């Protein structure tokens, strides 16, 4: 959560780093563990830079503890002395990642962050500050941060750390030309939050986002699908579905085959013991079998015909036979939706997390 810059004492090392960035503006990546005060430091830095007359792009890439947009998205806000950072900023642009956790989602997280940094620069930002997730330990974290830094090519890295916890990551880019690393301390006043508190924060953010949402029907014929690659292969006819039904011990609602992969939707229980027969029937090496009832609650990213993000949605009903889906979304004009990206998590309308989506 973005806190007021008055909540923490402003440390001299923070001010020094801010002044160094003012002397050489550009892209600034903020690294730090969960509950290190990254977001509040981001507000302090933004206040300093906008007060000095700089236009700042704030890219919120902390998909689990988002402070600008809803969780599972990367968000961009453009700030200046005329438009300072409010307590609850509204994003100018959002990019759908589809999860509140980076593992398994590196590509959309990195591409989304890179895209919004480029958008900020195109819209006149002289300094672009990128807030990142608190994932910093282990090989997975090192891989994510290294690839992100390679994609963004920042002029500055602000390493907000207790002791030397970021050094394994910093060593990967130390000495890189045109990159200045600023090691700054965590405020002693920062309070660590429990896992339950962090989850409650995410759910509150989702609940706030969907507070004014309504249910709208979307027809497949008007849509492209991604993440769950639906409607990209050859659709099976009724007789072929009946053959699959013998193996599955239930009649499939829909099936398609694309290359070496198959996709089958059923309603209710099915026999996983006969998947090899389903693969043979579809003439594929891999098949994804999904109970449509288990898809209910899947987080969706709704986009226009150009691929621009419009809004989040929660899948309420999925009907492969009628080729329709019903989504809960705050989007006021659902007719604009031309592309649907399936997320990796499930929610109820109150924002409560229900676990992973079944296609993962």
Domain ranges of the chain: 12-209, 214-360
Distance separating alpha carbons of residues 43 and 77, to the nearest angstrom: 12
Distance separating alpha carbons of residues 109 and 99, to the nearest angstrom: 9
State how far the alpha carbon of 104 is from the alpha carbons of 56, 75, 227, in Å: 30, 20, 12
Q: H helices of 24-79, where?
A: 38-51
Distance separating alpha carbons of residues 65 and 38, to the nearest angstrom: 11
DSSP string computed for 214-259: EEEEEEGGG-EEESS-TTSSEEP-HHHHHHHHHHHTS--SEEEEET
Cβ atoms 66, 208 nearer than 8 A = no
The three-point CA angle 186-144-4 to 5° equals 35
Class of domain 12-209: alpha beta
Question: What pLDDT is attached to residue 8?
Answer: 62
pLDDT in tens, the chain (360 residues): 333 344 568 999 999 999 999 999 999 999 999 989 998 999 999 999 999 999 999 999 999 999 899 999 999 999 988 877 776 777 889 999 999 999 999 999 999 999 999 999 999 999 999 999 999 999 999 999 999 999 999 999 999 999 899 999 999 999 888 999 999 999 988 888 899 999 999 999 999 999 999 999 999 888 999 998 898 899 999 998 998 888 888 889 999 999 899 999 999 877 777 788 888 888 899 999 999 999 999 999 999 999 999 999 999 999 998 999 999 999 999 999 999 999 999 999 999 999 999 887
Helix or strand (DSSP H, E) at 15: helix 12-23
Q: What are the tens digits of pLDDT across the range 75-102? A: 999 998 887 777 677 788 999 999 999 9
Structure tokens at 181: 């690393």
Distance separating alpha carbons of residues 340 and 299, to the nearest angstrom: 10
Question: What pLDDT is attached to residue 277?
Answer: 84
Indicate the pTM of the whole model. 0.93
């Amino acid at each position: 959560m973005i806190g007021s810059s008055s909540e923490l004492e402003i440390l001299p090392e923070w001010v020094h780093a801010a002044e160094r960035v003012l002397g050489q503006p550009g892209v600034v990546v903020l690294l730090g563990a969960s509950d290190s005060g990254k977001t509040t430091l981001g507000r302090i830095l933004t206040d300093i830079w906008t007060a000095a007359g700089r236009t700042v792009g704030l890219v919120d890439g902390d998909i689990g503890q988002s402070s600008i947009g809803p969780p599972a998205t990367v968000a961009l806000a453009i700030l200046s002395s005329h438009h300072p950072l409010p307590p609850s900023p509204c994003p100018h642009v959002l990019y759908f990642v589809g999860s509140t956790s980076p593992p398994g989602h590196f590509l959309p997280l990195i591409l989304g962050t890179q895209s919004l940094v480029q958008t900020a620069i195109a819209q006149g930002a002289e300094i672009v500050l990128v807030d990142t997730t608190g994932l910093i330990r282990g090989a997975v974290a090192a891989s994510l941060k290294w690839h992100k830094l390679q994609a963004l090519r920042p002029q500055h890295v602000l390493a907000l750390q207790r002791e030397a916890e970021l050094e394994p990551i910093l060593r990967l880019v130390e000495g890189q030309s045109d990159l200045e690393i600023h090691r700054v301390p965590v405020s002693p006043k920062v309070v660590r939050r429990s896992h339950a508190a962090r989850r409650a924060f995410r759910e509150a953010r989702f609940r706030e986002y969907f507070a004014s949402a309504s249910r709208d029907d979307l027809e497949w014929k008007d849509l492209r699908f991604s993440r769950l690659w639906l409607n990209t292969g050859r659709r099976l006819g009724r007789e072929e579905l009946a053959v699959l039904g013998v193996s599955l011990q239930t009649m499939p609602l829909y099936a398609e085959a694309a290359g070496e992969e198959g996709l089958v939707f059923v309603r209710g229980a099915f026999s996983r013991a006969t998947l090899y027969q389903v693969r043979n029937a579809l003439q594929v090496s891999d098949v994804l079998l999904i109970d449509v009832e288990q898809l209910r609650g899947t987080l969706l990213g709704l986009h226009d015909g150009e691929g621009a993000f419009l809004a989040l949605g929660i899948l309420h009903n999925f009907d492969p036979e009628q080729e329709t889906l019903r989504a809960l979304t705050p989007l006021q004009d659902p007719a604009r939706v031309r592309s649907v990206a399936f997320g990796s998590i499930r929610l109820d309308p109150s924002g409560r997390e229900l676990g992973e989506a079944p296609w993962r």
